[in-house]
């Protein structure tokens, strides 16, 4: 268009050194269970959530919703849900796994300075429904992408993120009193990890081992 200013930016070059450091970030991302009690600066948390919002989303709908859980009573309600669900999970383990399961302590709910619940708005106005007619669950998938982006960004800042999946989604949603239509994705603990290790804790404990990509690949 005549007279219009055009801004053309060159794409950044991600060299071999950067790619190596990025791979190290992927390898050192951990699901953290044990945290130091050092506080996380509010400005740092805000910056991490800004990075999380760079995640891809269906139709650019950005359906993720973050709830920072600071109220002691609400945290206690989440903790109570974990206790109930964890007891049920332990009772359901076969004898040869029960002892190992009991030793896998998840202390993040007590130690981590930041608690964060992530929801997805099931039918957001943003995005105008693009890409969701046949697969409406893509709003939830998009929120999970935001979680993964946050996870990597936090690790790059020396922070750890722990996903507390042993919870009743309905109990957590009720405890946090979120708007109708928000779908619970996950509850996360954020803080500085007590230890650093390039192998997952579950692998070190003998619970499970990481498999190569070939084990999950099917050719057609």
pLDDT digits (tens, 9 = 90+) for 29-63: 999 999 999 999 999 999 999 999 999 999 999 99
CATH number of domain containing 163: 3.40.109.10
pLDDT value at residue 99 = 77
For residue 15, the Cα-to-chain-centroid distance in whole angstroms is 28
pLDDT value at residue 199 = 87
> 13 lies in a domain?
no
How far is residue 84 from each of residues 79, 90, 164, 167, 175, measured CA to CA in Å?
A: 9, 10, 13, 8, 15
> 89 lies in a domain?
yes
Burial level of 132, CB count in 10 A (0-12/13-18/19+)?
buried
pLDDT for residue 95 is more than 50: yes
Identify the domain containing residue 71 by its residue range.
Answer: 30-205
pLDDT confidence tier of residue 103, bands split at 50, 70 and 90:
confident
Please, what's the b/e burial string for 36-64 (b: 16 or more CB within 10 A of its CB; e: otherwise)?
Answer: eeeebeeeebeebbebbeebebbbebbbb
> 14 lies in a domain?
no
> 24 lies in a domain?
no
Q: What is the rounded distance in angstroms from the CA atom of residue 53 to the CA atom of residue 212?
A: 30
- Mean model confidence pLDDT for the chain: 93
pLDDT value at residue 112 = 96
Query: Cα Rg for the chain, rounded, in angstroms?
Result: 20
Number of domains in the chain: 1
pLDDT digits (tens, 9 = 90+) for 163-196: 999 999 999 999 999 999 999 999 999 999 999 8
pLDDT for residue 5 is more than 60: no
């Amino acid at each position: 268009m005549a007279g219009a200013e055009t801004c053309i930016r060159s794409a950044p070059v991600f060299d071999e050194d950067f790619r190596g450091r990025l791979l190290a970030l992927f390898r050192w991302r951990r699901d953290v269970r044990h945290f130091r009690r050092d506080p996380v600066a509010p400005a740092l948390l805000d910056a991490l959530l800004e990075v999380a919002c760079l995640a891809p989303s269906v139709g650019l709908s950005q359906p993720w919703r973050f709830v920072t859980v600071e109220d002691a009573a609400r945290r206690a309600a989440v903790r109570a849900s974990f206790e109930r669900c964890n007891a049920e999970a332990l009772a359901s383990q076969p004898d040869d796994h029960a002892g190992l399961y009991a030793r896998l302590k998840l202390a993040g709910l007590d130690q981590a300075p930041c608690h964060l619940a992530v929801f997805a708005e099931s039918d957001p106005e943003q995005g105008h429904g693009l890409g969701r007619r046949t697969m409406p669950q893509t709003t939830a998938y998009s929120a999970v992408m935001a979680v993964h982006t946050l996870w990597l960004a936090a690790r790059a800042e020396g922070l750890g993120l722990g996903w507390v999946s042993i919870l009743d989604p309905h109990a957590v949603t009720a405890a946090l009193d979120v708007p109708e239509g928000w779908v619970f994705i996950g509850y996360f603990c954020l803080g500085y990890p007590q230890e650093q290790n390039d192998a997952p804790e579950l692998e070190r404990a003998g619970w499970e081992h990481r498999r190569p990509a070939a084990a999950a690949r099917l050719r057609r």
